Structure 1
């Protein structure tokens, strides 16, 4: 199960030079909790260089009582090195790396390292829950089929 099949392809991006204020407004306008910071390579093709979350803004700007968020580049508050997943990477390998690095969101890139999507822990919980539900139904169907076959044999 390649992660590229499950990632969200609608990614909200910003240049690292955009202001914190602009970043917060983008998050509000698009109803997202993160922005992928990226460099434009071609028209509609971007190389991710970072990620900033609404929590990063709260902890680094609001909690430190910064008074001019419009003057601070969003790239300045990126707290960690960017961890990405290749779109061909196995879903469970990505989950393992997210756990290893303690990240809840991970940009997904193609073979050239260009952005194709983003995956979040919440998205993956949904995928896993759906698959577990399907598996539990299979067990139930198997039991019903066996009961039906036994009933036919008894006739």
Structure 2
């Protein structure tokens, strides 16, 4: 299927000179996946909701201050390749070009709707994310925003004082309360109002009850619920207790699954691939395969490597966080680390991954041993 079948020429666009206050109000009113920014009538880039929440740029600044590039695709590109481009570019939409001219956009929702009937082949358990960042009901909005920045995420499950799932707070929830309160204030009052907003507990802005799914549900059913209710993700809970947070499945997880291949070598997907400096995709793949090859019974079906840039720098080199997640026939394994430059961060993360894989292998071995003992006892 070509992307031309699902791309659209209808999109929200603003001029690079437009004030960010106006851009924020567009997100609140229309809830787009992103906004196309033009300059002198030509495509300049995009602005996403996540950028607005994570930025300290004031409302009176121009849109160009937050404009960033997005992965460009052609109308004839394959849907699977576009899914990969969106994931690796950490983007919810991509501008679609035809003969070097901006024709329209394609969003993650459009892709998921197009492939929905094919998602029955997967269960949530096969692709969900186990490493979940959570907050409590007393966590302040300012602290939640720091989590969004630090981990490059857009939603946080909220737990009550007993550690049970209580709600969900997203970047959209925060944008909504900020725009609403800022619209009530004059310019001179806004600095104080922003401080007050940052001190509000997430309990006051979170959504509740929380939309959940279980391990056994098909990905098609989960995605249908996301699309019908405009959810970006669902909390994964054990079948026996929907108050516990076992993981989360997002639209990005599903897009990533669409790119899985049946090639001879491991399929490795990299998010924010533009941050790679002295290390290549091939070197990353080879190093992960070396770890996997040490444990012959553990077959890696897919690897996801995510890089996230912090503002801190050393001699011009940014502090990078690297997260590695493996989907294997023995379950999921993960490792993360930080370093100055992508190469350094990856090396720390791969070392942590290897330790975690070894621990997982040990746990599985213990379970097998216990199973053998029980079978022998049953034969006595």
TM-score normalized with structure 1 length: 0.67
SS at the partner of 1:25? Answer: helix
Structure 2, gaps ≥5 residues long: 121-380
Report deviation, 1:118: 1.4
Aligned pairs (5 A) from 1:95-134: 95-114=83-102, 116-132=103-119
Query: Where does 1:3-152 land on structure 2 (aligned, <5 Å)?
Result: 3-41=3-41, 47-60=42-55, 64=56, 68-69=58-59, 71-78=60-67, 80-114=68-102, 116-132=103-119
In 2: Cα distance, 1:110 partner to 1:130 partner: 28
**1:30 Cα deviation (Å)?**
3.0
Q: Assess if the C-alpha contact under 8 Å between 1:7 and 1:118 holds in 2.
A: yes
Q: Give me the whole-angstrom Cα distance separating, in 2, the residues matched to 1:40 and 1:52.
A: 17
Higher percent of residues as helix: 1
- The aligned residue for residue 153 of structure 1 is none
Q: CA deviation at 1:132?
A: 4.9
Cα root mean square deviation, aligned = 2.0
Determine the structure 1 residue equivalent to 2:153: none
Give the drift of 1:112: 2.6
* Structure 1 residue 125, shift from structure 2 partner: 1.3
| CA 24–33 in structure 1, closer or farther in 2 if over 3 Å, else same | farther
Secondary structure, aligned partner of 1:103: coil
What are structure 1's unaligned runs of at least 5 residues?
42-46, 134-155
Q: Is the 8 A contact 1:49 1:82 kept in 2?
A: no
Per-residue CA deviations over 1:8-64 (Å, capped at 9, x if unaligned) read 3210001111110111222333332421112354xxxxx32111012111110xxx3
Q: What CA distance in whole angstroms lies between the structure 2 residues aligned with 1:84 and 1:125?
A: 19
- Separation of aligned partners in 2, 1:130 and 1:8: 21
CA distance in 1, matches of 2:117, 2:63: 36
Q: Aligned partners of 2:69, 2:104: CA distance in 1, in Å?
A: 18
Across the two proteins, how many residue pairs are aligned to each other?
120
Deviates more, 1:120-129 or 1:31-40: 31-40
Structure 1 runs of 4+ aligned residues shifted over 6 Å read none
Question: Is 2:70–2:91's contact at 8 Å kept on the other side of the alignment?
Answer: no
Q: Which structure exhibits the higher relative contact order, with contacts defined as CA atoms closer than 8 Å and separated by 6 or more residues?
A: 1
Structure 1 stretch displaced more, 9-18 or 97-106: 97-106
